Structure 1
Amino acid sequence: MDNRAEKYKRFKGLHHQGRAFVMPNPWDAGTARLLTHAGFDALATTSAGYAFAAGKRDSFSSLTRDEIMINAKAIVDATDLPVSADLEDGFGRDPATCAETIALAIDIGLVGGSIEDATGDPDAPVLPIDLAADRIRAAAETAKDRGFLLTGRAENFISGCPDLADTIKRLQAYSEAGADVLYAPGLPDLDAIKTVCAEVDKPVNVVMGLSGPAYTVEQLSAAGVSRISVGGSFARAALGALRRAAEEVMTKGTFTYAKAAIPDGEMAALMDQSKKSDRS
């Protein structure tokens, strides 16, 4: 069994172990190494975290597919864990474009990825359900028998359309179209999460660390959740620490922030040890 096939087998198994697992979201190779060392079982990329690191907004118009794939490849190469990717809207409205995106994701070693139904258009924030399902179907056909776990995302609640019934209808359509995992970011409370889990027939991903209520892994497991991600919240937490350090230096002229920093030797041990050149 090759390395990618083994990662896919492990990743798929995590979704059927009877309890939720946490799949955090590194935004570059260094954070992937740190989170691998922390003991997680799988990782996922974050378009938001990567956008912040690149000095860009997290929006459809900010990041190209090439940029996302290069970043995802760096994360795949930095860890021995299974990696799933935030593939945004598939980088195109047409189902064939979504299928092409999945093929590229498989080629760089990813074992999973999500396609969302948001449009970025405030006047029509989510795609018509039939087109959205067709996009998932095209992606699923490309992923079939290639060791790739496809996540179908219904974006209603973070796109200004807080309609639980329509969200469930969409997730059911994405399941029928071939999605392996279902995901509706921004569900308002634990009751809504329980309802979604009860009304669909595939593992459910829930995101924590965004605005709104915070539930424990145990609470989410009891609600029926299979997978928990953190989106860009780890990246924002890291940037929050950076801003607090900067504000301390600028306003107080002190450097106590360094007490909470990871020691240099520890960081060196976590990073790639290979040499790229023989400098004399």
Structure 2
Amino acid sequence: MTTGHGTIFRTLHQPGNPFILANAWDVGSALMLQGMGAKAIATSSAALAFTLGTRDMGHITRDQSLAHAQDLIAAVNVPVSGDFENGFGEDPDTCAETVRMAGEIGLAGICIEDTALPADTAYAFDLAVERIRAASDAARGLNKDFFLVARADGVLTGKYDVEEAIRRLQAFEAAGADGLYTPTPANPKDLARICASVTRPVNVLAAGPCTKLTISEFAKAGAARISLGSALARATHRMIRDIGVDMLENGDFSALGKSISGDAVENLMF
């Protein structure tokens, strides 16, 4: 990955003209998504946890996340962004250090959320803002362009409402975040409110009610980026479960005949 990927990544973020940030879980999935036209790749903490046979939400270490991101960066020719949970620590200085380490390995940006992992409680407002301010200062201190996204996750976790999410996003913007993100707003109206409440680009997660929206509807709401989170990985694991039940419980292998050929996979990768 070249230093220019940070700038390329930033230019992709256009409110009202969203791009799909394709979350991969290994080199093969990243190469396939790139081969199908993804303009940028992201990691997913949950999807990585699946590959490691562990749990999400604070059980992946920073070293594991950085090593995984390095594998993807080395494999693809498009920008890569990191799902870096809560920055791997409560202290603002830890968030700043995480940004510096992410920049050093060649990531084009990362997300940092306001959840006190491994619990699902939200950081107090002032601490949440200070963490993003420290991360933003670190991003500006890098010798490359780096796109920092601040997440307000309380709507997702049920710890606060959309009004509090907007208050936090506006404070994160003032603290220097390049992009903002509130996963799983309840409806398109709330999504549009979130996008209109800030001037920086907004990421939307294709999950829950938002899976029913088309890309043109995301654009109308004002989104700049649509991420997949662990959804694509979970769809793959659903196939493993469903076909596994057919085979192991019913002795039925017919679903395997619906898979694509190895050549088709390789043609997307190479």
TM-score normalised by L of structure 1: 0.91
Paired AA for residue 115 in structure 2: A
- Please say which structure displays the higher CA radius of gyration: 1
**For residue 29 of structure 1, what is the aligned residue in structure 2?**
27
Contact 1:115 1:153 in 2 (8 A): yes
Contact 1:125 1:160 in 2 (8 A): no
| Aligned equivalents of 1:114, 1:213: Cα separation in 2 | 21
Q: CA deviation at 1:154?
A: 0.2
- Counterpart selection for 1:129 from 125, 132, 138: 125
Contact 1:210 1:233 in 2 (8 A): no
Aligned to 2:81, the other structure's residue is in SS state: strand
With CA pairs under 8 Å and 6+ residues apart, which has the higher RCO, 1 or 2?
2
**For residue 112 of structure 1, what is the aligned residue in structure 2?**
109
1:164-175 correspondence to structure 2 within 5 Å: 164-175=162-173
Contact 1:189 1:213 in 2 (8 A): no
Paired AA for residue 46 in structure 2: A
Post-superposition Cα deviations, 1:34-66, rounded to whole Å, max 9, x if no partner, equal 110110111110000010111111121x11110
| Aligned equivalents of 2:114, 2:78: Cα separation in 1 | 28
| Aligned equivalents of 1:93, 1:49: Cα separation in 2 | 23
Aligned to 2:2, the other structure's residue is in SS state: helix
| Aligned equivalents of 2:170, 2:8: Cα separation in 1 | 25
Post-superposition Cα deviations, 1:177-217, rounded to whole Å, max 9, x if no partner, equal 11000000121110000001111110000101346762111
Paired AA for residue 138 in structure 1: A
- Counterpart selection for 2:240 from 239, 242, 246: 242
Instruction: Please list every run of at least 4 consecutive aligned residues from structure 1 whose deviation after the TM superposition is greater than 6 angstroms.
Output: none
- Counterpart selection for 2:250 from 244, 249, 252: 252
**For residue 92 of structure 2, what is the aligned residue in structure 1?**
95
Note closer, same or farther for the CA distance 1:211–1:238 as it changes in structure 2 (3 Å cut): farther
Give yes or no for the alignment of 1:83 onto 2:80.
Answer: yes
Note closer, same or farther for the CA distance 1:17–1:94 as it changes in structure 2 (3 Å cut): closer
Aligned to 1:114, the other structure's residue is in SS state: strand
**For residue 188 of structure 2, what is the aligned residue in structure 1?**
190
| Aligned equivalents of 1:242, 1:35: Cα separation in 2 | 19
TM-score normalised by L of structure 2: 0.94
Contact 1:88 1:115 in 2 (8 A): yes
Unaligned runs of 5+ in 2: none
**For residue 139 of structure 1, what is the aligned residue in structure 2?**
135
Unaligned runs of 5+ in 1: 273-280
Note closer, same or farther for the CA distance 1:164–1:209 as it changes in structure 2 (3 Å cut): closer
Note closer, same or farther for the CA distance 1:22–1:47 as it changes in structure 2 (3 Å cut): same
| Aligned equivalents of 1:56, 1:211: Cα separation in 2 | 27
Q: CA deviation at 1:161?
A: 2.0
| Aligned equivalents of 2:42, 2:211: Cα separation in 1 | 22
Name the count of aligned residue pairs: 268
Note closer, same or farther for the CA distance 1:79–1:213 as it changes in structure 2 (3 Å cut): closer
Paired AA for residue 248 in structure 2: M
Question: Quick one: percent identity of the two aligned structures?
Answer: 37
Question: Comparing 67-76 with 256-265, which one deviates more in the overlay?
Answer: 256-265
Contact 1:20 1:228 in 2 (8 A): yes
Q: CA deviation at 1:267?
A: 2.8
| Aligned equivalents of 2:4, 2:167: Cα separation in 1 | 33
| Aligned equivalents of 1:39, 1:212: Cα separation in 2 | 22
Give yes or no for the alignment of 1:40 onto 2:38.
Answer: yes
Note closer, same or farther for the CA distance 1:17–1:169 as it changes in structure 2 (3 Å cut): closer
Q: CA deviation at 1:85?
A: 0.5
| Aligned equivalents of 1:121, 1:6: Cα separation in 2 | 35
